[in-house]
Structure 1
Amino acid sequence: MPERTSALTRVLLASNAGPMTLDGTNSYLVGEPGAGSVVVVDPGPDDPGHLEALATAGAVDLILITHRHHDHSGGSVELARLTGAPVRGFDPAFCIDSEPLTDGELIRAAGVSIRVVATPGHTADSACFVLVGDGERGAVLTGDTILGRGTTVIAAPDGSLADYLDSLATLRGLGALTVLPAHGPTLPDLEQICDAYLAHRYRRLDEVRAALRRLGPDATAAAVTDVVYSDIDPAVRFAAEHSVEAQLAYLNADGGGV
């Protein structure tokens, strides 16, 4: 059964827990209570039981995806078939019977207003969805741009640390909204978590600079990872290397490698 996460949202947790997905993907049902319909945000993987539960939780007006990764978008084709609802995201390849999202667009469906915010960085097509009327302060569905715990991987081929830092600054400017992440628990204050995320990223950049001074400017991402992420769980070592690759690309572009 979906669980209430805010005045306008309920969540259904997909059964895809793992090192990268934490407890699993949070599929959100967004709608004004009593409206009789919902917007599904991130249908999750192509799991028949999970998709059937989403399809029967209320009439589905629209399916939104925060980004293209399979644990968010994998079930969208089947959920669209089950419900007849269109699918929208920033990447046209993942849209069904509808146009791609545009930054700043206001969507009205299921009795609510959803403002689209482009937040590239984790992927080039990452989006967040602001629910202005959700509770006293509003809420924002953050996909993988902000997680309920831990930090976000900036992964090749289309992840960009420069874009990600800009996106965090954009989100911080929205104020103290409730954070509804795609993985992990709800967080109470968007501004506060953005400050923490930005501080963490800049601290990591300082650690990478120190590693380059120690190892030399031509050090590989693997060698830098050994220094900066010395205590990393082997199960997510690959993600740490992706993050280091993104940090090195950022420093090289910025001219601040050391």
Structure 2
Amino acid sequence: MVTLTHPAYGQLRVVTPSASVLLANNPGPMTLDGTNTWILRSPDRTDCVVVDPGPDDAEHIAAIARATGGAVALTLITHRHPDHTGGIDELVRLTGTPVRAMDPEFLRGEVTVLTDGEVVEAAGLRITVLHTPGHTADSVSFLLEDSVLSGDTILGRGTTVLDRDGTLRDYLRSMDRLLEAGTGRALLPAHGPDHPDVEPVARYYIAHRQERLAQVRAALDELGADADAMAVVRKVYVDVDESLWPAARSSVESQLTYLRSEPATQD
């Protein structure tokens, strides 16, 4: 039997005893190799939980329906971006699954919004909801006994962007929370490869954010305290492809808000 490795488009790849992944064929600068749709199943059950149906791609949604046999007890959404939510209605049409998210826009069926700390019981699984804002305000992660599904809060490679409704202060708190909850558990991200342990990846993310903050502070020292975000991007992200600068600008705006809200130091 061939053991699949990331990336494997359109093929169900087993990662942990309870989690397998289908990779959508939507690669790009913001999606890396594509969106990971996670299929969670208790060993003694035939039904399952789907996390992030992925983009509005009929072929990908049909692959989810085939992989699950249509027996989707529940679908969970990590956050609002269309590369995670675009396929919701087609999956509902094919399987009848209810859908839960923190943002009520994405609810389907007789369900309620996800709340921080709640334990979702479905398909023989117990899934703890962790509100982990920063990438977006509605971002959540899902904690299983042996793994953490981190959405876009922690990716399998590189670092994530802070969208306009995400704050750096929230993001750093989310990193601390995932570090505490995820140490010793596998990291199952929404983009990029999985990792055997959340801890080293979370620590890298925290260190990277602190490094970027230091670079932004240095840029402000040179450009002036009132410099706008794009001026800082040109200074700090000089080694990044310019096609990614609009996304970098969003993160820099969050960093500037964070720095400018810090209390003044006393001499």
Whether contact under 8 Å (1:65, 1:87) holds in the other structure is: yes
Deviates more, 1:18-27 or 1:188-197: 188-197
Which of 76, 80, 84 is the aligned partner of 2:92?
80
Q: Which residue of 1 aligns with 2:117?
A: 104
Shift of 1:124: 0.6
1:249 and 1:185 map into 2 onto residues whose CA distance is 31
Deviates more, 1:73-82 or 1:163-172: 73-82
Question: Would the alpha carbon gap of residues 12 and 164 (structure 1) be closer, same or farther in structure 2, given more than 3 Å must change?
Answer: same
Confirm or deny that 1:173 pairs with 2:185: no
TM-score, scaled relative to structure 2 = 0.91
Q: Which residue of 2 aligns with 1:117?
A: 130
Q: Which residue of 2 aligns with 1:154?
A: 162
Paired AA for residue 74 in structure 1: G
2:242 and 2:235 map into 1 onto residues whose CA distance is 14
Shift of 1:14: 0.6
Q: Which residue of 2 aligns with 1:41?
A: 51
2:25 and 2:83 map into 1 onto residues whose CA distance is 10
Which of 233, 236, 250 is the aligned partner of 2:258?
250
Which of 49, 66, 70 is the aligned partner of 2:78?
66
1:136-171 CA distances to partner (integer Å, 9 max, x unpaired)? xx1000000000000010011x11111000000111
Paired AA for residue 221 in structure 1: A
TM-score, scaled relative to structure 1 = 0.94
Q: Which residue of 1 aligns with 2:35?
A: 25
3-state SS in 1 of match to 2:188 = strand
Confirm or deny that 1:189 pairs with 2:202: no
Which ranges of 4 or more aligned residues in structure 1 deviate by more than 2 Å? none
1:73-119 CA distances to partner (integer Å, 9 max, x unpaired)? 11112211211111001011111111100111111112221111110
Shift of 1:56: 2.0
Paired AA for residue 139 in structure 2: S
Shift of 1:194: 1.3
Q: Which residue of 2 aligns with 1:205?
A: 213
Identity of aligned residues (%): 53
Whether contact under 8 Å (1:177, 1:189) holds in the other structure is: yes
Whether contact under 8 Å (1:63, 1:80) holds in the other structure is: no
Shift of 1:235: 2.2
Whether contact under 8 Å (1:15, 1:24) holds in the other structure is: yes
Shift of 1:34: 4.2
Confirm or deny that 1:232 pairs with 2:240: yes
Compute the RMSD of aligned alpha carbons.
1.2
Q: Which residue of 1 aligns with 2:104?
A: 92
Aligned length: 251
